[in-house]
Amino acid sequence: MLRILAPTLVISIQTRLTSARTQQTSRPTRPSKNVIQDDTLTAHNTRILAVKSATITNVSNITINSDSIAALRADVSNTALNKVERFSSIQGQAKFGLTSALTINNLIFLNGNLVDITQYSGVGTDTLTFKTPLSLYDNLVVFYQVGANTSNQIYWYGVEWDTTVADPSVTRIGNVQYQASLPIQNGMVRAVVNDDRTVNYYLDPNNSNKKADGTTANLTGADGQVMVIVPTHWERFERVGTKRRIELATVALPGFTKVTKYAIGAYEAYYNTTTGKLESRSGVMPTTNKTRANFRTYAAARGTGWHQLDYNSYFDIFSLYLTEYASFDSQTVLPGATNATSADWSTYNGSNPVIATGASNSYGNASASVPFSIANFVGGTATLNSHEADYRGIENVYGHIWQFVDGININYTSSTSAYAYIDSDPSTYADDTPTNYVLAGKITNASGYITSLLDNSLLPQTVGGSSSTYMTDYTWASSSQAGVWRVALWGASLSYSSNGGFLAASFDSPSGRVYGSIGGRLCLKIE
């Protein structure tokens, strides 16, 4: 028996419909913001279980008997609002049966509301516990697929590119339905998070000025830090001849590495001089003119799990972006704030931030190029018109100001050799050292447009391209230096024009570097 738990007891329904459900095999149209589509069940042998009531506020028992379950999906909907929310699960193996204890891996509620899966102790029983108020919905439909004819199912989606091809576009690969539904990306959600790493409340997916329940949200930091929560997922990076692949999955698969749930600041970081803590809050100018070590200290002051934006988090966000947009040319597909001149910016305010945090609030969890204007910027009299690059609720994911990235150190051992070292433990992040770090590999010591990346990394291996070929972004190196350590910056800033973008990187800053156009971002290890 599959038991779906909601907050209070009202109904108990054990209805079974035996009609089959056939899914389209062609790529569907990108879903609208209000209806999230996740066609997890892609083959035949799909069974439908329907439960309907005036209001879903109770425990609903659904009997599946002893079928072998290969995949499961549930839809909850509000008829009046024409709103549908979906969550889904797939077993990584070909099939499993209810004759033994049932395990459904990594259920993801695609609008960001979390769903817990707890393996029940009783044989043949599993409990799905909703952490969203089902009283908001009036209909529940559960689809499940039996295990037959699923052994060839692809449980991952991703992209691949040929390193010999200059076109910055990449090819989508893997499960076609996942390419359309983007289950991991659609699981990214803005929330207000407490210092103890618990969620105070989720924000409305379409407007962050409101809580998920429709009441007014407080984004000033008084209720907690405004973060984008990234769900647990799995990833694999492959090299096949001249091709490179990024593959993502919502379940554990052979050869895939787990990325545990984490949160990244929705906004560029602000340093509160009163509390001594780094913040992710709306309505303030981002803090700059601090060292990377300063940002590290301010972030850690929030408590366990809090840290400055690090390499692994930024790499993961880029992988999610690339899998979704299928292009290295971020400035074309998601334009950002990189179109000012350095002379105008310097004259305007000494090359300090020009955009207060929160311009993307009305966009919620969406990706968008949010327009903004700065009066008297160009030549001291004309208006600068630009855009923020906001990815899945992460404001100014590149552009506006450079972002310090922690957990990576660059060592120029000679005038011709540079090596990158990576650390995955925020408690041991430090500058100018390989201690506790792992050698990632040799990177280019030359500046130029990136043409290739070190395998399984964001690190530039070769240069020589242009703003419209290969990775399309520029990297800066300390090519004439030897025996020096450098910190990492990513994303470029307002005045970098076609050199900027998601992959734009600077490895020529000493650890003591402070500047008005270099800032940070808050991150959190949730698990």
Same structural domain, 180 and 222: yes
pLDDT above 50: residue 76: yes
Cβ–Cβ under 8 Å, residues 496 and 504 = yes
Same structural domain, 490 and 349: yes
DSSP letter string over 299-316? Answer: HHTT-TTEEE-BHHHHHH
If you average pLDDT over every residue of the chain, what do you get? 79
Cβ–Cβ under 8 Å, residues 440 and 457 = yes
Residue 41 to residue 158: CA distance in whole angstroms: 19
Cβ–Cβ under 8 Å, residues 185 and 322 = no
What pLDDT sits at residue 248? Answer: 97
What pLDDT sits at residue 58? Answer: 38
Average pLDDT of span 219-224: 98
Domain count, the chain: 2
User: Within its chain, how far is the Cα of 352 from the centroid?
Assistant: 27
Amino acid at 144: Y
Write out pLDDT tens, residues 374-423.
999 999 999 999 999 999 999 999 999 999 999 999 999 988 899 999 99
| pTM (global) more than 0.95 | no
The contacts of residue 165 (CB under 8 Å, 6+ apart) are none
What confidence category does residue 81 fall into, taking pLDDT thresholds of 50, 70 and 90?
A: low
Cβ–Cβ under 8 Å, residues 89 and 105 = yes
Same structural domain, 476 and 512: yes
Residue 257 to residue 260: CA distance in whole angstroms: 10
Same structural domain, 386 and 423: yes
Amino acid at 226: V
Copy the structure tokens of residue 495.
Answer: 């005045």
E strand or H helix at 52, and its extent?
A: strand 46-52
pLDDT above 50: residue 438: yes
Average pLDDT of span 1-7: 36
Same structural domain, 385 and 257: yes
What pLDDT sits at residue 120? Answer: 25
- Distances from the Cα of 220 to the Cα of 192, 203, 282, 293, 301, angstroms: 10, 14, 5, 25, 18
Q: Lowest mean pLDDT of 24-28, 358-362, 508-512, name the range.
A: 24-28
Same structural domain, 309 and 195: yes
Write out pLDDT tens, residues 110-151.
233 333 333 222 233 344 444 444 555 555 555 544 443 334
Cβ–Cβ under 8 Å, residues 305 and 195 = no
Q: Lowest mean pLDDT of 51-65, 213-227, 242-256, name the range.
A: 51-65
Amino acid at 294: N
- The domain containing residue 396 runs over which residues? 154-527
Tell whether the torsion through CA atoms of 128, 131, 134 and 139 is positive or negative: negative
Of 102, 128, 146, the one marking the end of a domain is: 146
User: Within its chain, how far is the Cα of 523 from the centroid?
Assistant: 12
pLDDT above 60: residue 29: no
Strand ranges in 108-261 using DSSP code E only, listed in sequence order = 108-109, 115-119, 126-130, 139-146, 156-162, 171-174, 189-193, 199-204, 207-211, 225-230, 233-240, 243-249, 257-259
Same structural domain, 221 and 252: yes
Same structural domain, 181 and 255: yes
E strand or H helix at 134, and its extent?
A: none
What pLDDT sits at residue 196? Answer: 98
Same structural domain, 227 and 120: no
Same structural domain, 241 and 108: no
Tell whether the torsion through CA atoms of 48, 53, 55 and 60 is positive or negative: negative
Of 146, 180, 201, the one marking the end of a domain is: 146
What pLDDT sits at residue 374? Answer: 98
User: Within its chain, how far is the Cα of 158 from the centroid?
Assistant: 14
Count of C-beta atoms within a 10 Å radius of residue 435: 10
Same structural domain, 191 and 115: no
Nearest Cα to Cα of residue 64 among 109, 22, 102? 102
Of 125, 146, 167, the one marking the end of a domain is: 146
Average pLDDT of span 330-334: 97
pLDDT above 90: residue 97: no
3-state class of 150 per DSSP?
coil
What confidence category does residue 491 fall into, taking pLDDT thresholds of 50, 70 and 90?
A: very high
Look at 95 and 257; give whichever has higher pLDDT. Answer: 257
What pLDDT sits at residue 177? Answer: 84
Residue 339 to residue 357: CA distance in whole angstroms: 19
Count of C-beta atoms within a 10 Å radius of residue 244: 19
Tell whether the torsion through CA atoms of 241, 156, 257 and 439 is positive or negative: positive
Same structural domain, 356 and 389: yes
Write out pLDDT tens, residues 162-180.
999 999 999 999 988 889 8
